[in-house]
Amino acid sequence: MFAEILELLPELLRGTLMTVELTLCAAVVAITAALIAAVSKMYGPRPLRWLAIAYIEVFRGTSALVQLFWLFFVLPYFGVTLEPFAVGVVALGLNIGAYGAEVIRGSILSIDKGQWEAATALNLGRMQTLRRIILPQAFVAMIPPWGNLFIELLKGTALVSMITLGDLAFKAQQLNQNTLRTLQIFSLVLIIYLCLSLLITVLMRTLEHRVARGLLRGRAG
């Protein structure tokens, strides 16, 4: 049993590496897309606002897998051919970004109105207020929901196995066909995903403590 697991592990770890890379790259895309969409939806001029709303509704309203397939199979007809890895990063990033936009919007709205008024009184511009005063405070409130989104993202990366990308889920299916050690393979894969999820939880909790401490000290001073 133990020797078998050792045999399976190198291949699975290679898949894990791909899963981690995908998660990290897609997380960057997600945060960027979410920030742009949230700010556009709240403060953008009308056409930009509509665009942001359309983006958020379309990506939240359809399946991640459908989005992945659409980018993979349909985009080439528009003359845009992306590598499978890029498709995975863009599809997952935009999908999570749409949910993230609503998280960011919610946490910006949760900031007391007096903060805006005080910033106006101090003659700060709108964008300046947002960047210097509002977002740093909203940041603390958005960390826990973003932690959940990153776990959703990690789980979502399993989908890319369906566009032939060699992530953990893909390696699992490949090994399963080659070795038929179904129980060992899928149990191991579940455990690896669990460890990655726990890692995200721990990292986000650490970040939350750090940021909240800084904020409290700032308030006391």
Least CB distance to another protein at residue 136 (A): 29
Give yes or no for a contact between 68 and 160, defined as CB atoms under 8 angstroms apart: yes
**Which of 25, 197, 207, 211 is the binder for another protein (CB under 8 A)?**
197
Of the listed pieces 2-10, 33-41, 82-90, 190-198, which binds another protein according to CB under 8 A?
190-198
Residues 6+ apart with CB under 8 A from 154: 19, 23, 193, 196, 197, 200
CA neighbours within 13 Å on the CB side: how many for 144? Answer: 5
Give yes or no for a contact between 99 and 149, defined as CB atoms under 8 angstroms apart: yes
**Terminal CA-CA length for the chain:** 59
**Which of 3, 45, 47, 78 is the binder for another protein (CB under 8 A)?**
78
Residues 79-138 that bind another protein (CB under 8 A): 79
- Which lies closer to another protein via its Cβ, residue 29 or residue 185? 185
The CA angle 13-19-22, to the nearest 5 degrees, is 145
Least CB distance to another protein at residue 131 (A): 31
Which residues here bind another protein, judged by CB under 8 A?
57-58, 60-67, 69-70, 73-74, 76-79, 151, 154-159, 161-162, 169, 172-173, 176, 182-183, 186-187, 189-190, 193-194, 197-198
